[in-house]
Amino acid sequence: MEFCADPATIEGAKWWLCYLTTPKHQQFYFSFLTVLALILLVAPITLILGFGGALARRSRFYPLKLFGQIYTSMVRGVPDIVFFMFVPIAMDQGLEIIRHWINCPDVTGAIYQGNDFVVCTAAKLPLSTSPQWVHETYGFFLALVAFSIVFGAFAANTVDGALNAVPRNQLETGRAYGMTSGQVFRRVHLPQMWGYALPGLSNLWMILIKATPLLFLLGVEDVVYWARELGSSKTSIFTYPHPDWRIWYFAALLVFYLLLTWVSEKIFARFRTRFTRGQASSAGKIAIEAGQ
């Protein structure tokens, strides 16, 4: 807008309009989409890893069963913040070491030199010449992997417990009707399992939402980064000087997360009604009494 060319000459509503439409504020608004994208991408991957981990723990093939037990137990026993910091760093260095071996075979110096991690320029990820969006996408990818691995382990325990909670006589009834083990799992075990798994999965979803501010610690310019950056005090050397407004920016984040959890609760309530209908459980009885 033309009247925003010289912010010092405007005031009132026009000043606020110009201030709230600066490029940095547009990045702040876009960062909300970054948080939503992380949640929506992590959720299906978490379910896949959860089912994979649960089935691995129940496998009769001992190496696979051992892998499932180690994965779920190890990840659950490590504080989330430690794992969120470890996975991106380990992946980043691992990929750069591989690229160093491939792209710089003539470099014979040690990669680990005391506290320094030294690889050739061609092995860096991303390359220093890459545009900014490549750096941000790479950081988001590392965060996505870290979140998926951690929450996949929790989901595996939830799914495993839900599979064990399905009454054994229902499975035996399916076999008595001549169903194979695969048919019993698909037609009886899996549909019944959801009613027991949804409470734990809904809690896991809420924890995932609350964990998204950790993106800030992983170097991703998320809502927390921009709230702190834009809200901090700006002196007259800035185009739009203002006092410390961080409380208002973080209040906006509070509203955003409360709305997100409120909508999530409504959606999961519908899921619980749908998956527990006709089930021989307290949730199923409630759904029947409500006429749903």
CATH assignment of the domain containing 64 = 1.10.3720.10
- Domain membership of residue 217 (yes or no) is yes
- Domain membership of residue 16 (yes or no) is no
* Whole-number pLDDT of residue 29: 92
d(CA 214, CA 235): 29
Structural contact between residues 71 and 53, judged by C-beta atoms closer than 8 angstroms = yes
> How many structural domains is the chain composed of?
1
Q: What is the mean pLDDT of residues 253-264?
A: 93
Structural contact between residues 1 and 233, judged by C-beta atoms closer than 8 angstroms = no
User: DSSP E strands: which ranges in 114-265?
Assistant: 116-117
pLDDT bucket at 287, cuts 50 / 70 / 90: very low
- Domain membership of residue 234 (yes or no) is yes
* Whole-number pLDDT of residue 38: 92
- Domain membership of residue 195 (yes or no) is yes
In whole numbers, what is the pLDDT of the chain averaged over residues?
A: 84
Structural contact between residues 119 and 112, judged by C-beta atoms closer than 8 angstroms = no
Structural contact between residues 159 and 50, judged by C-beta atoms closer than 8 angstroms = yes
- Domain membership of residue 263 (yes or no) is yes
Q: Amino acid identity, residue 104?
A: C
Q: Which domain holds residue 275?
A: 21-289
- Domain membership of residue 181 (yes or no) is yes
- Domain membership of residue 37 (yes or no) is yes
Contacts (Cβ under 8 Å, ≥6 apart) of 31? 221, 222, 223, 225, 226
- Domain membership of residue 210 (yes or no) is yes
Count Cβ atoms within 10 A of the Cβ of residue 257 and give its class: 0-12 exposed, 13-18 middle, 19 or more buried: middle
Digit-coded pLDDT (tens) for 162-214: 888 888 888 888 888 888 888 888 888 888 888 888 889 999 999 899 888 88
User: Quick one: tokens of 221?
Assistant: 């310019």
Q: What is the mean pLDDT of residues 141-153?
A: 89
